[in-house]
Structure 1
């Protein structure tokens, strides 16, 4: 198959046809290309902004053409190919009827239905069988990976999304052909077909062979990501107003789509209705287009002058890492106070809470009926407050380190503030054990602190700031604990990074919160919010946040943008969590806490990234 040239501009006399007629010149624009050599941050930003990333030459051309040759060699028995032509060319039989070779996957109501003719039945059977062929899906033994599992594609997605080892290819894939003269793919977005999953998947459309600009390739709607979301949200809003449940809403949406799952058959009318252009281009073997779940797209009718069949595959990827550790919420640490003569008992009079609770999240319950499981402590394990708790979904484990003994107790000589690991089984049960470090001497040189900020980010556990005293580590006097203690779960190694001091007059940052920030750089970052920098005052304003890069070990301050009510008030002891947004954003949620005047707060705030000032 000859190497096609890339269109830098569409020809003035180009005629692009879709299901409802030709597209006018003022109704199209060029799909903008990107390149694997560009900085990853720029590629991510472009994907978030445009809803797609057209990446040139990501896959080796020879691998793509080999897959194309395998496909059409398997399909040749149907008579779809021009006699005496090379399978890799995929030239449609000029003497054949298009109705005998329907565009599998196009879903058009006006295409011949699979099996309506004897030839179409054979063609359809072979096209479906190709999805399980070893050249495409790989072998059961793993000796042959298959084109759908191409390592260059999986490696890029894992880096691009920063999902790493949690990158999971969806088993359901689509191997589509677009034969000349048949109807094209209608207007749709992919979340339609994955409605029971979160809209965070990434689709990779891979053209298997060169596709001329009028050869039936995919076309994308200008601003289609935002419009797709708006269409979904508007329907959801109307469904909820009528009293439909979430499940009924999903079913109702699907019923209101066309039988093929499309928004409509005709891209021309759809673009004019919303005053949007269609983005078009030619494709070369090796190109890949990544698009978001709500990015609206379709295809043109294949009018390739040489009769070349357009072949492509839709491969989808998701993040398999759970947002919770299995189906349970684990409650660890603290102590129980009671009311005596209308007054709360003090620390020394409170009850030590020497067990871990597991609360199910996979079924509904009420406060009076919830079944809470109790996990016993390991022998000689002490109850603590303000410990660092790190949930590690890769190893089905929770790590506990640092913090202070409950009930104002103190460590005595020979007692150690160990690191413990809770191994969970997914049913609410688990076992505590001591987690030994890889380098005992390095671990022994770290004094566990309390009231610090902790978070687990990929394979790294962080405990930042706080202070030490005899309740957190034997023999320690009351002092600030500047810097970062970092645990690598992969190697069991510890690091004590103290070259940057966030401390105030008497101590380090304490009683704030830390969250893991992904998707805004080549590596995850740690964000610190709120808290105080001394034992008496100096609360940290939320008009800015502190960001730590664990790779470069550098710290940054970043201003935030206030809303109409101003910035959140200064606070300690609040809850904070981060969650991935639908458009590549990260939402940081913050609730409650104690104000600088020690008053309880019950307000709720959201900080959206990258919406920084």
Structure 2
């Protein structure tokens, strides 16, 4: 018997747990493109849904230029298999990671000209100014994410990681290329921004001061405790997903059948006249402190000491993974 395309589509998991795809547990994100020209309706929809999804808000060619810029840099480290076209992002052996200056690498990736043309695109800035009601700034730190097959992300809200200045902040998750659900698409928990349980402590915590790890890794347990349904979709270049600091989210595992890595971006926006979190803003912001570099993946530690995303490096920027297990 010949396998059909559906037979070859991997099941959806998050942190290794199977996703319940019944209609009361999993649904599609709803686009909001028709609201772009109506500021009042746009703000009302954000307050109601907790997120806004736009299809092709950005020029796909601009997004794909950023994708290529970043993947060429990952290819230098062996993270992209150069036996295939670089733009396909087929996972390599990562042979150069251990000896590279990851501090220089990370800064190079997040300050690339084509990448900044995505995070600071006029369409994105206009959206944020509409939502926030005034001139906005992008956080000086931006988070480009390279997700290898087998990797995912624990569940969390952004608030505890961004809240030392203001909580009037929106995150934009932007796929840098096609991202199908089985390739690690972002997932949001419907109505979690209204969860009284989250507001009773977690959302007022400070991730560094309180030593937060991921809130949980079991999607069924998280759904039962904090929301209604998990929401996700297949993303294309140009799509933008925006949500606030109280929206609980994570990612589906990258279960690509051909070893394709997921490339995406997180960027944050606030009003210029609001105080900014010094962890992520300023000429010499230091993130979570110490000698760390933003380099997601390479193992799972439940984000203990932020290691799922922030790696310890030595004085030359070389990788040092503490408490490896």
Report if TM-score (shorter chain) is over 0.5: yes
- Residue 308 of structure 1 corresponds to 260
Structure 1 296/236 Cα, relative in aligned 2: closer, same or farther at 3 Å? closer
CA contact (8 A) 2:156 2:249 kept: yes
Higher relative contact order (CA 8 A, sep 6+): 2
In structure 1, C-alpha distance between the alignment counterparts of 2:96 and 2:81, rounded to whole Å: 19
In structure 1, C-alpha distance between the alignment counterparts of 2:169 and 2:261, rounded to whole Å: 28
CA contact (8 A) 2:62 2:114 kept: no
Which of 117, 126, 131 is equivalent to 2:110? Answer: 131
- Residue 23 of structure 1 corresponds to 19
Q: Deviations over 1:321-346 (max 9, x none)?
A: 369xxxxxxxxxxxxxxxxxxxxxxx
Structure 1 236/157 Cα, relative in aligned 2: closer, same or farther at 3 Å? closer
Q: Deviations over 1:411-469 (max 9, x none)?
A: xxxxxxxxxxxxxxxxxxxxxxxxxxxxxxxxxxxxxxxxxxxxxxxxxxxxxxxxxxx
Q: How big is the shift at 1:270? A: 1.4
Does 2:213 match 1:220? no
In structure 2, C-alpha distance between the alignment counterparts of 1:284 and 1:232, rounded to whole Å: 31
Structure 1 233/24 Cα, relative in aligned 2: closer, same or farther at 3 Å? closer
CA contact (8 A) 1:75 1:127 kept: no
Structure 1 168/253 Cα, relative in aligned 2: closer, same or farther at 3 Å? closer
In structure 2, C-alpha distance between the alignment counterparts of 1:257 and 1:45, rounded to whole Å: 31
- Residue 123 of structure 2 corresponds to 152
Structure 1 256/268 Cα, relative in aligned 2: closer, same or farther at 3 Å? farther
- Please state which structure has a larger fraction of its residues in helix: 2
Q: CA RMSD in A?
A: 2.8
SS of residue paired to 1:153: helix
User: How does 1:91-102 map onto structure 2 within 5 Å?
Assistant: 91-93=90-92, 96=93, 100=94
In structure 2, C-alpha distance between the alignment counterparts of 1:216 and 1:52, rounded to whole Å: 19
Structure 1 216/253 Cα, relative in aligned 2: closer, same or farther at 3 Å? same
Structure 1 71/270 Cα, relative in aligned 2: closer, same or farther at 3 Å? same
In structure 2, C-alpha distance between the alignment counterparts of 1:127 and 1:268, rounded to whole Å: 34
Q: How big is the shift at 1:54? A: 0.8
User: How does 1:205-604 map onto structure 2 within 5 Å?
Assistant: 205-227=173-195, 230-235=196-201, 250=205, 254-255=209-210, 257-258=212-213, 262-274=214-226, 276-321=228-273
In structure 2, C-alpha distance between the alignment counterparts of 1:60 and 1:255, rounded to whole Å: 40
Contiguous gaps of at least 5 residues in structure 2: 1-5, 276-325
Q: How big is the shift at 1:47? A: 1.1
Contiguous gaps of at least 5 residues in structure 1: 1-9, 101-116, 138-145, 238-248, 324-613
- Residue 482 of structure 1 corresponds to none
SS of residue paired to 1:25: coil
Does 2:69 match 1:73? no
The farther-off stretch of 276-285 and 20-29 is 20-29
- Residue 33 of structure 1 corresponds to 31
Which of 198, 207, 212 is equivalent to 2:166? Answer: 198
Q: How many residues align?
A: 265
- Residue 56 of structure 1 corresponds to 55
Q: How big is the shift at 1:317? A: 0.9
Q: How big is the shift at 1:38? A: 4.8
SS of residue paired to 1:76: helix
- Please state which structure has a larger fraction of its residues in strand: 1
Structure 1 253/267 Cα, relative in aligned 2: closer, same or farther at 3 Å? farther
In structure 2, C-alpha distance between the alignment counterparts of 1:16 and 1:235, rounded to whole Å: 31
- Residue 484 of structure 1 corresponds to none
* Structure 1 length-normalised TM: 0.40
Structure 1 20/236 Cα, relative in aligned 2: closer, same or farther at 3 Å? closer
Which of 124, 146, 167 is equivalent to 1:177? Answer: 146
In structure 2, C-alpha distance between the alignment counterparts of 1:123 and 1:31, rounded to whole Å: 39
Q: How big is the shift at 1:132? A: 2.5
